[in-house]
Structure 1
Amino acid sequence: MGYVTFVDETTTGERETGPRLEVAQERLTVRELIGRRVREEIAAGRRRRKDPEGQTELVLKAFAANGFLLLVGERQLTELDEEVDLTADTEVTFLKLIPLVGG
């Protein structure tokens, strides 16, 4: 059993540590990681809607449309069904991409 710490970061260098979740599994897919993050935000009241499935679907679509990058350590995850090996304390970074001015 280990912990996953979610971190929000922007390309301008802003960084905020988010929730830390206890995880019993040694491996999770990107889809499962995103789902757990969304459910945690809803439970903590950081998301307005109380529909975890609908919220998760929106975030999965944003990931697929390159609205943000997902990094585990130095490794970028690109596929929803890609599996992540979890260690005792894994850091998962949600890197929000900021569009260029005029682009």
Structure 2
Amino acid sequence: MPILTILDETASGSIIGRLELEISQETLTVRELIARRVHDEVDAYNAQQGGTFRGLIQPTESERVLNGYQLRPAKRIDGEQQVYRALEAFQQNGFFVLVNDRQAESLDEAVWLGEGATASFVKLTPLVGG
């Protein structure tokens, strides 16, 4: 199976995270890509039974800590809820997705993820004071 490299970046281009995702199809929609990524992160966190969640979207009832989010008390994260929140954040410009250095415009856009493809998730930070 091909491996897709996913980078988390800041708006200034600094890489703050990296993960690899096995994909079985060369073409996915942006919606499917986000869902696969979020499910992979949630499954990995739930398998380790706690610790720091390092994911695209902050889980409900969690606290931001260095390099991730902490749930107190530790509990399982609902993958479907996280996918819903991630898709909503994409639509509200909370982050944008670059696939092969080209910005994805909509959730229904099909993107090529074959051998050598890369995807970057660029998180946007809200300005303080409005």
Which interval holds the TM-score relative to the shorter structure? 0.7 to 0.9
Q: Residues 19 and 40 of structure 1 are in contact (CA less than 8 Å); yes or no, is this contact kept in structure 2?
A: no
Q: Which amino acid aligns with 1:20?
A: E
CA separation in 2, counterparts of 1:32 and 1:93?
15
**Paired residue for 1:74?**
101
Cα offset for 1:58?
0.3
Unaligned runs of 5+ in 2: 46-52, 56-70
* Number of residue-to-residue matches in the alignment: 103
State, as a whole percentage, how many aligned pairs show the same letter.
48
Equivalent residue of 1:44, what SS? helix
Cα offset for 1:72?
0.8
CA separation in 2, counterparts of 1:72 and 1:27?
11
Cα offset for 1:100?
3.3
Q: Which amino acid aligns with 1:93?
A: S
Unaligned runs of 5+ in 1: none
Matched, 1:90 2:90: no
Equivalent residue of 2:117, what SS? strand
CA separation in 2, counterparts of 1:89 and 1:40?
20
Structure with the greater relative contact order (CA < 8 A, sep ≥ 6): 1 or 2? 1
Matched, 1:25 2:25: yes
CA deviations 1:43-87 (Å, max 9, x no partner) are: 221366431111100000000000001001220001001000112
TM-score (norm 1): 0.87
TM-score (norm 2): 0.71
CA separation in 1, counterparts of 2:13 and 2:101?
16
Q: CA RMSD in A?
A: 1.7
Q: Which amino acid aligns with 2:111?
A: V
Q: Which amino acid aligns with 1:22?
A: E
Equivalent residue of 1:89, what SS? coil
